[in-house]
Structure 1
Amino acid sequence: MINFVLVGSGAALGACVRYHLGELGKRYLKVDFPVVTLFLNLTGSFILAYLFGHHLATPLYLFLGTGILGGYTTFSTFNSELVLLWQRRRYQTMLWYCTSSYICGLLAAVAGLWLAAIK
């Protein structure tokens, strides 16, 4: 039961941060590219790998990793933005967004693990 509470409360906090950053991005970034979602997913990949590399106790990892970062990152928004770019026939931007999200996400995770390994 406690694991459920840890993950749920963390996810609520992460989703609130994601929403707030998304709103700030809409207000201040006038670009026709899903830069906020890319930022959220890349920083989330980095932080999650960093936490994983520190071998946190299970309850702390459930709250921070599965909960907060699960709510902070957003695979569903990423996919809906890809579909929207496809519908707008912005194929080059769609491919760039998809490729950069996956490749840079993996690189961010590797960087997080590497940073966590430095003692």
Structure 2
Amino acid sequence: MADKIKFVLALMLIAAGVVGFYLLAEQPMILRVLAVLAGVGAGAGVAAFTELGRQFFVFGRESVIEAKKVVWPTRKETMQMTGAVFAFVLVMAVILWLTDKGLEWVLYDLVLGWKQ
């Protein structure tokens, strides 16, 4: 039950930040954005003390660890794959264009006789 109350409080803090954004309409934009960021930060801080919040932050930490294990492609590999994808898209575009024009010719010229 305490976790639910903390979670509702966190949502209220986030909502207060958003409401602050609109209440500070006459203030500079930086203050309005800081109001939202403060609300989100306070809400995240309160939510971090719930069981669901702890699980979320553990998941986030584990995600960062897994992302560090990724072997990213080199520039050469990236350029080669980009070239292959570009060539494939170009070939498919030509094939689809030829198919479209072929069907147009068959339907309009041969079947319907519209183009004469």
> TM-score higher than 0.5 here?
no
TM-score (norm 1): 0.29
Of the two structures, which has the highest relative contact order with CA contacts closer than 8 Å and spacing of 6 or more? Answer: 1
